[in-house]
Amino acid sequence: MPRDINDDGPYRLSAAEQALHDEERRKLLDLNRAVRDIESELAGAKRLTRVRNTTFFVAIALLIGAGAWTVAVWEPSRFLKPDIICGALALIALISAFLANKALPVDSSLDEMEGNLDQHRDELRFLSALVRPGLAEQRALYREDVQALIENYQQDSRKYRRTHNSLQNLVMVGSAFTTTIAALDAKEPTWQNLSVLAISFAITVASMINGYYKFRERSYFLQQTADAIEEEANAVSLGVGEYSEFTPGQEQQALARFTQRVEALRNEQRRRQQQLDQPADQALPAGPPPA
């Protein structure tokens, strides 16, 4: 039977499929949002639980320690003050544990929240398998995920770098301070000796910090990269150098080359920065600045 020219069945079928696809995508977004909310609530509940348990055990340990000290000493003049301090600290810890326990959600326990999260994750996996985005959407999502991954790595790197630098500063200052105290013990404390020791201590700490962080090399490489990027910016603006071959109608090609060259300079700067952060016995020669 020939199809009627006014028959809009294919159009209505395509519209229904698109509506169904949009509805599934909305469900997928709602499930993603629900999973994130449950994960955030579960993380907060776990954090409050750790605070409650830790403060409770600290309070119990303080009370046990105060009782053991009282039994061991058994002199009011000696155990009264430590017992008062331990009792006050234990009271603060118990109040903190009570407040943390009060802030916990009362409608569900951690096991129920974890089970609810697992159920939502299973539903999300099943729906994600049914609603598979196109290649362009997958690439866009991957690009966004990569940006979040980069920020996560950078945040962790900054955290570990701060921890390492703090411990290294403590080692350097402690070494110089130990040497200063040893020299002070061997001499009679006069204002001349104290002045010399203070100046020596400051010079030792400054020298160790400058040798560890390499401020001069960092400044040199940063200035070198800034000058090179400025040179590229002037060249692309004036149409000279590497950009003299591009006509006014080829601005996009010139900007593409400019972006590529600037990114190469930034990558080189990051490589130098990583070499400066490495220990002296592992770092590769990075072209030290001239004297």
User: What secondary structure, in 3-state letters, does 117-186 show?
Assistant: HHHHHHHHHHHHHHCCCCHHHHHHHHHHHHHHHHHHHHHHHHHHHHHHHHHHHHHHHHHHHHHHHHHHHC
pLDDT digits over 50-108, tens only?
A: 999 999 999 999 899 888 888 887 777 777 888 888 889 999 999 998 998 888 876 66
What values do phi and psi take at 251, rounded to 5? -65, -40
DSSP 214-248: -HHHHHHHHHHHHHHHHHHHHHHHHT-GGGTT--G
**Residue 291: pLDDT above 60?**
no
Give CA–CA dist 276/286, Å, rounded: 8
Whether residues 126 and 191 fall in one domain: no
Residue 112 falls inside a structural domain: yes
Whether residues 98 and 192 fall in one domain: no
Please tell me the pTM assigned to this model: 0.47
DSSP 41-65: HHHHHHHHHHHHHHHHHHHHHHHHH
Assign 3 to helix, strand or coil.
coil
Q: Which residues are CB-contacts of 137 (< 8 A; sequence separation ≥ 6)?
A: none
Q: Which of 132, 163, 198 is the last residue of a domain?
A: 132
At residue 91, the pLDDT reads 92
Whether residues 233 and 128 fall in one domain: no
Please give the structure tokens belonging to residue 282: 């592992």
**Residue 18: pLDDT above 70?**
no
Whether residues 124 and 200 fall in one domain: no
> Could you tell me the maximum CA-CA distance found in the chain, to the nearest angstrom?
117
Rounded average pLDDT over 121-141:
71
Residue 282 falls inside a structural domain: no
Residue 46 falls inside a structural domain: yes
Name the domain count of the chain.
2
At residue 141, the pLDDT reads 64
pLDDT digits over 225-279, tens only?
A: 899 999 988 888 888 888 889 888 888 888 888 888 898 998 998 898 888 877 6
Domain of 54 in residue numbering reads as 9-132
Residue 169 falls inside a structural domain: no
pLDDT digits over 210-233, tens only?
A: 888 888 888 888 899 899 999 988
Q: Are 83 and 66 in contact (CB under 8 A)?
A: yes
Residue 143 falls inside a structural domain: no
